[in-house]
A and B are shown apart, each in its own frame.
Chain A
Amino acid sequence: MPYWRITLHRSAIGLPKRTKGVLAALGLHKRCQVVFKPVHPQFAGMIMKVKELVKVEEVDRPKTKRELQDERKPDPGFVVEKRGSEMRGALPWAREVGEGEVRL
């Protein structure tokens, strides 16, 4: 089922109460906030009321809060090739600290 990813791009400060009400009904309360709504004429009409304030994309499924946070994460600059727990056998001098964790 396709969804619309709606981002509040412009604030509704100083705009009519009804415009603010539509945004609140969509669940948009602050700028750059993202909500997902299913593709349905009802939501199309609501988006049309605030089309100057939002950015809309079509997506296959809604993203979770965690996935939205990960989108904003900067590139860490390194790649994890192996975790400590995988290196237990490979390094004989490493001592085990707790469950599955290895410290050198």
Chain B
Amino acid sequence: MFGPFRITSALSGGLLWKIPWRLSPTQKARQRRRLRAVDTVVEVLSNSLAKTGQKCTAVERWKAEMPTEAEMLPRDKYTMFDRKAKRYRKGIHKLPKWTRVSQRLNPPGF
């Protein structure tokens, strides 16, 4: 029952994916909440820097290049580019540490 040679469905049956291929509605809601939280942080930083008349390249670049949660397309919120996946898309939850990293942009055309 225990040990390295135990029989589990993943070991004996060959290919068995334990990660569902798409996100559940709750996961998607939490993902949107996390995206908005990051947007808020950037907003707070740029607002208080603007108030004191200062500039930060990292904040400016993010604001110029990255779409906010509201501007993003659903397919960019919940899926990401993968050159090996069918139709070049996979669920964003396949990205390691996906709840704590930002992954907003994908190659144009994919």
- A and B from one assembly? yes
List the interface of chain A (C-beta within 8 A of B). 2, 4, 9-10, 12, 14-15, 39-41, 44-45, 47-49, 51-58
Known: A41-B54, A52-B100. A2 touches B42 (CB 8 A): no
Q: Give 9 nearest A-B pairs by CB, closest first.
A: A44-B56, A41-B56, A48-B58, A58-B48, A51-B41, A45-B58, A39-B48, A56-B44, A44-B45
Which DSSP category, helix, strand, loop or mixed, fits chain B's interface? helix
Tell yes or no: B95 within 8 A of A by CB: no
Give which listed residue, A9, A39, A48, contacts B54 with CB less than 8 A.
A39
Known: A55-B37, A56-B41. A48 touches B59 (CB 8 A): yes
- Contact present for B100 and A10 (CB under 8 Å): yes
Once the chains are docked, how many angstroms separate the CA of A56 from the CA of B34? Answer: 14
Once the chains are docked, how many angstroms separate the CA of A14 from the CA of B101? Answer: 12
